[in-house]
A and B are shown apart, each in its own frame.
Chain A
Amino acid sequence: MTFKEFLIIFSMIIFGSILDDFVSSKIENFYLHTNFAYLVFSYWVFACPEKIGVLFSIMFGLIIDFISGSAIGFHAFMYLLFAYIIHIYAFTFRLFSYLQLAVFFGGSATFITTINYLIEHTSNYSYANIFIALVFHIII
């Protein structure tokens, strides 16, 4: 990966993280928890699987951990896991329709949000919030 490509991907992931801060909000008694940073990262892994490997996955994950204030290592692990899944099923994903891709990436973004709640914020876990996040991520 050239420096220019790295800069583009890195700045888009950072922009996604900033967008998370702005879009995530309380709606009546529910909370919309977005995960744009992961969606941007997973898009680039899907689009350029040969460019983003182990090193960049763990690096982007640690940077997002640092910026978002979540547990250090959490996003690094999740980004590595889904980068690996996207790599090994890269050929299968090419046969997927757009809806199937949306369901997979939306579902994986919601999965990360769910595990984050289970590890760090157990008392705030809410099925309603998870469902809202799932619908939002699939639509996005």
Chain B
Amino acid sequence: MAIGTPIYTPKLPYLFAMMFALGILFLDQKYDYFAPIKNTKTYLFAETKTLTNKLLISSNNFFDGFKSSQKLAFEIDILKENIDLLSIENNFIRQNIDSRNISFDGKPSKIIEFDTNQYFCCSNHRLIVSTDSNYIHGYVINEAGLIGQIYNQTEKYVEVILLSDKRHNIPLMHNQETFFCIGKGMGKPNKIQCEIDNNLVNKNLIGSLMQTSGFGGIFDRGINVGYVIDTELKSDLLVITIELIASPLVTDKVYILTKNDF
């Protein structure tokens, strides 16, 4: 292909355009000015994915319709879904059965979109789940345990921020309630960090279980979060790294719960 002849390149339009782009970048990073546009994009992508899945299922059912086992196949799919949901409910109840007052009144849901590239490479750990209710405050569990909390809701889709997201903080406590801290996402899959006063700790914490403390009004108290895998001393603070029990990659079936008020 013949390369076109370069013409005179004016500097000023490029300079103004670059300053304009930098201004937009500043507004987005500092004030999150374009959040409505990003929410619209999230909604459009989720809606497109849902419609595409529906079309695929419909076309599969259309071809299966010529077979006599179509009804059976449909019933098997429904049973499989119900088994997954019961498994989540069972694990959660078993996990919390020995002292907690957490009544299981969660809404079953499904992950519509999960950007695994962002999850593995970068620090934005978010996923989109579908819902038929309005949620202002809620947290999300899967069959392995707690994975995140509700961040934003657009129509029938909810954006969930995972515990490992860089912007997420969760109030934690040691399972023997010896100390409390704020678990901050590290932007790395399945890991969060806590800083505690070194003077409050007088034993080796590796392998200790960390749970939600119930502070903050989002999470119920006593939900298992993860185990301490590493500790590091930074001046007077002990920085502990916690590996989360639950991974969002395990299944696309989730439950949305809200904190119980007593």
B258 within 8 A of A: no
Interface residues on A, range: 35 or more
Q: Mark A96-123, 1 if CB is under 8 A from B, else 0.
A: 0000000000000000000001011111
- Kindly report which residue of chain B lies nearest to residue A74, judged by CB atoms: B25
The residues of A that contact B163 with a CB separation of less than 8 Å are none
The residues of A that contact B117 with a CB separation of less than 8 Å are 21, 24-25
Contact in complex: B7, A50 (CB < 8 Å): yes
Contact in complex: B123, A123 (CB < 8 Å): yes
Out of B17, B24, B25, B186, which one reaches A54, CB within 8 Å? B17
Query: If the complex has contacts A69-B124, A71-B28, A121-B122, are A54 and B21 also in contact, measured as CB distance less than 8 A?
Result: no
The residues of B that contact A62 with a CB separation of less than 8 Å are 24
Complex CA distance for A26 and B11, rounded to whole angstroms? 40
Contact in complex: B123, A120 (CB < 8 Å): yes
The residues of B that contact A71 with a CB separation of less than 8 Å are 25, 28-29
Q: Mark B83-126, 1 if CB is under 8 A from A, else 0.
A: 00000000000000000000000000000000101101111100
Q: Mark B163-181, 1 if CB is under 8 A from A, else 0.
A: 0001000000000000000
The residues of B that contact A31 with a CB separation of less than 8 Å are 120-121
A15 within 8 A of B: no
Query: If the complex has contacts A69-B124, A77-B22, are A91 and B28 also in contact, measured as CB distance less than 8 A?
Result: no
Q: Which applies to chain B's interface (DSSP): helix, strand, loop or mixed?
A: helix
Q: Which of A82-140 contact B (CB under 8 A)?
A: 83-84, 87-88, 90-91, 94, 117, 119-124, 129
Output the least CB separation between A18 and chain B (Å).
Answer: 12
Contact in complex: B123, A121 (CB < 8 Å): yes
Query: If the complex has contacts A49-B4, A72-B37, A84-B9, are A123 and B28 also in contact, measured as CB distance less than 8 A?
Result: no
Complex CA distance for A119 and B123, rounded to whole angstroms? 11
Contact in complex: A72, B34 (CB < 8 Å): yes
Contact in complex: B3, A61 (CB < 8 Å): no
Q: Mark B1-36, 1 if CB is under 8 A from A, else 0.
A: 101111101010110011011111111110000100
Out of B1, B4, B20, B187, which one reaches A51, CB within 8 Å? B4
- Kindly report which residue of chain A lies nearest to residue B40, judged by CB atoms: A66
Contact in complex: B21, A47 (CB < 8 Å): no
Contact in complex: B14, A72 (CB < 8 Å): no
Contact in complex: A49, B21 (CB < 8 Å): no
Complex CA distance for A69 and B39, rounded to whole angstroms? 11
Out of A25, A57, A80, A124, which one reaches B123, CB within 8 Å? A124
Query: If the complex has contacts A66-B37, A72-B24, are A77 and B9 also in contact, measured as CB distance less than 8 A?
Result: no
A-B interface, 3 closest residue pairs, ranked by CB to CB distance from nearest: A73-B25, A73-B24, A90-B6
User: What would 19 A/B residue contacts be, using CB atoms closer than 8 Å?
Assistant: A24-B121, A25-B120, A31-B121, A49-B7, A66-B41, A67-B41, A69-B115, A69-B118, A71-B25, A72-B24, A80-B18, A81-B18, A87-B6, A87-B9, A94-B3, A121-B166, A124-B121, A124-B187, A124-B188
